[in-house]
Amino acid sequence: MIGVGLAAATTMVLVQAPTASAATWTTFYAQESVKIRQKPTKSSTALGLVPKSAAAKALMSGGSVKVYQGGMHNACGSKGNIKYNQWDKVRYKGITGYVPHPCMLPFKP
């Protein structure tokens, strides 16, 4: 009897961990030519350029563009508000980096 109870006590149940959901990327267009930065700051290394009206993919989260807080900028129609600090993560021609949030539009300018 002791051996049977011990065998039952050592039975293992394997549970699979939930998998992370894949990132969703959606097409957006550059309002004006804008540099893709390595980090979400104006002083970060420029990795490339998205030309005006060019299509790039923006990272989405919950049905909206995922916005990152970063360095201050006054790019792309932010009306000179130097306190604007929101950035989008984008992919363009094999380059992934950050552009100021107001620079990317869901329609071609």
What is the distance between the alpha carbons of residues 30 and 19, in angstroms, rounded to a whole number?
33
The residue written with tokens 């990272």 in the block is 59
Q: Tens digit of pLDDT for each residue in 19-28?
A: 455 679 999 9
Q: Tens digit of pLDDT for each residue in 12-65?
A: 444 454 445 567 999 999 999 999 999 999 999 999 999 999 999 999 998 899
Per-residue pLDDT at 84 = 79
Q: Which two tokens stand for residue 35?
A: 């540099």
What is the distance between the alpha carbons of residues 9 and 7, in angstroms, rounded to a whole number?
5
**What global pTM score does this model have?**
0.76
Q: Where are the domains positioned within the chain?
A: 24-105
What is the distance between the alpha carbons of residues 19 and 15, in angstroms, rounded to a whole number?
12
Per-residue pLDDT at 81 = 56
* Architecture of the CATH domain 24-105: Roll (2.30)
Is there a contact between 33 and 50 (Cβ–Cβ < 8 Å)?
yes
